[in-house]
Amino acid sequence: MYSSNPRSNLLFVVLILFSSSLLINSRKLDLKQPQQLDHGHTDDSLAYVWPLPWDYTFGNQTLTVDPNLSLVTQGNGGHSVIVSEAFDRYKKIIFEHCSSKLDGSGVDYHLTRLNVIVHSGNEELQLGVDESYTLMVAARDELSVIGGITIEANTVYGALHGLETLSQLCAFDYGTKTVKLFNAPWYIQDKPRFKYRGLLIDTSRHYLPIEIIKQVIESMSYAKLNVLHWHIIDEESFPLEVPTYPKLWKGSYTKWERYTTDDASEIVNFAKMRGINVMAEVDVPGHAESWGKGYPDVWPSPSCREPLDVSKNFTFDLISGILADMRKIFPFELFHLGGDEVHYDCWNSTPHVKQWLQDHNMTAKDAYQYFVLRAQEIAISLKWTPVNWEETFNTFASSLDPRTVVHNWLGSGVCPKAVAKGFRCVFSNQGVWYLDHLDVPWDSVYYAEPLEGITDASEQELVIGGEVCMWAETADASNFQQTIWPRAAAAAERLWSKKESASSANTTVLPRLEYFRCLLTRRGIQAAPVTNFYARRPPSGPGSCYSQ
């Protein structure tokens, strides 16, 4: 076990000493013996967890859970509103089918209270926050002084993950109309493999209502993803309010397809309550044609609208104003500045820009570098760490600020080159982790390895994680979720669980993913069948969710 927390280890020793009769039959899960977990879809005692925890033991007892489960909190962070609201949310999920009209006073439930211990009262949510947790479940009897459910974590965000895991261990029994927890006693010690586990959403190609974005965030928490990369604006539309430059809103599709600053703040706060950071993106100098609807001076000319006019100080004043306003909304330390797919034709064909290039002894490629670095300076002055798409690294790596996080997307091999030069990297290889590529099957997503080609331990540390990208050219509120799920969950386990979970010997992967997909649909998330040849296609005929 990996825990360095003496209290956790002490609790485990006590659990062993006083629950020996329970643990005598427990089994340490071995990925090479997956049949121990795979009871088959027809077994009522199925207990699957997604993503797979790091270390755990389980037994063969079935325990009942009191629908009036009480919360007992301890530690400096135990009384956090984040914990209490999460408990209320998960209580509704776990006991969804338990009728309040049923009289449970005569039932002797095994599990009547949940103890949550959170050691730190610091609720700051940043990259690398401690997300580890310990979960223990055991019945109280004459041989055991420790009974009930205990979640212990250093931060509230670890506690959130513990609650999610607990919810996946519970199942409603329609025969007895009680919630049961199978394969007890459980002892789980869990932590993420990567500190950055992201999902990109694109609200420029199609506007997404706030309620849909909240549903996406909620579903992310079920898979233990922790960064929502919000690609808010692009060349097609500019839906975000920028008080300093209010005419930018003219770039929205319609006056109804917009986000106020209050809307954006609400999304950020909603995400934080679920342990998810929101990283905003302003993609410059390309992908910004919509800016000129309100401020046409940023176009090189009315007929040549991208990239943004590099020759005018007003362009950078506008960027400064946008970022300064957004800094009031987005507290996450990372900010995405784009920098991809910059084509220089406009600069070379517009007389005043061409003259500016000559006056500054620059080629268009030089101007691209100048623009990206100046935008980085603005972000850094606002105490943001810049993230840029890989083209910036591929074109002028030696000039990038050393704090830059390189975001891979074009193909494999970029992260190895980036970390070799000392940059941090995020893996999003479009061949496997672009969700709008509908012909990429779940197993290609699952078996993709962010550390591919990187063997040096210090360089591996520079890969902060990965991100699946849901570009929205062919997706809107009608089909967004079923394009994301369940394939995003495949990447989520790759980013959370041990690398060894991807072993070909681990034959539980597909049934566990199918089970998780059904869990999503039960929770109201429109997840598509796992094994469809094309993502988001409906089922081909009648059948059980669990036998797809």
What digits encode the pLDDT tens for the residues 353-394?
A: 999 999 999 999 999 999 999 999 999 999 999 999 999 999
Compute CA distances 390 → 54, 408, 492, whole Å: 32, 5, 22
Average pLDDT over residues 76-96: 97
pLDDT in tens, 6-31: 444 444 444 443 343 333 333 333 33
Q: Which residue has the higher pLDDT, 7 or 154?
A: 154
pLDDT of residue 45: 54
pLDDT of residue 446: 96
Q: 55-190: which CATH number, 3.40.50.2020, 3.40.50.300, 3.40.430.10, 3.30.379.10?
A: 3.30.379.10
3-state SS class at 428: coil
Confidence band, pLDDT 50/70/90 cuts, at residue 146: low
Average pLDDT over residues 528-535: 94
pLDDT of residue 38: 39
pLDDT of residue 266: 98
Say which amino acid occupies 329: I
pLDDT in tens, 255-278: 999 999 999 999 999 999 999 999
Is 4's pLDDT higher than 80?
no
Nearest Cα to Cα of residue 404 among 464, 349, 356, 364: 464
Torsion 502-506-510-511 (CA) sign: negative
CB 208 within 8 A of CB 476: yes
CB 291 within 8 A of CB 248: yes
CB 2 within 8 A of CB 54: yes
Long-range contacts, stretch 393-399, CB < 8 angstroms, 24+ apart: 393/417, 393/418, 393/423, 395/365, 395/368, 395/369, 396/368, 396/369, 396/372, 397/421, 397/423, 399/369, 399/373
pLDDT of residue 508: 86
Which residues are part of the catalytic machinery? 341
Q: What are the beta bridge partners of residue 2?
A: none
pLDDT of residue 140: 74
User: 111-118 and 61-74 as β-strands: parallel, antiparallel, unpaired?
Assistant: parallel
Count CA atoms within 13 Å of residue 370 on its CB side: 19
Q: Which helix (H) or strand (E) holds 487?
A: helix 487-496
3-state SS class at 73: strand
Residue 65 has phi, psi (to 5 degrees) of: -115, 130
- What is the dihedral angle through the alpha carbons of 75, 79, 81, 85, rounded to the nearest 10 degrees? 90
Is 52's pLDDT higher than 90?
yes
Confidence band, pLDDT 50/70/90 cuts, at residue 466: very high
pLDDT of residue 102: 53
pLDDT of residue 36: 37
Is 196-501+515-523 a CATH 3.20.20.80 domain? yes
Nearest Cα to Cα of residue 74 among 165, 152, 160: 152
pLDDT in tens, 486-524: 999 999 999 999 998 777 666 789 999 999 999 999 999
pLDDT of residue 317: 98
Mean of all residue pLDDT scores within the chain: 90
In 154-308, DSSP assigns E strands to 170-173, 178-184, 186-190, 196-202, 227-231, 277-280
pLDDT of residue 196: 98
Q: What are the beta bridge partners of residue 466?
A: 197, 427
Percentage of the residues of the chain whose pLDDT score is greater than 70: 88
Largest CA distance in the chain: 88
Average pLDDT over residues 220-234: 98
Residue holding tokens 């060349």? Answer: 235
Q: What is the CB neighbour count within 10 angstroms for residue 440?
A: 20
DSSP state of 295: -
Confidence band, pLDDT 50/70/90 cuts, at residue 170: very high
3-state SS class at 379: helix
Residue extent(s) of CATH 3.20.20.80 domains in the chain: 196-501+515-523
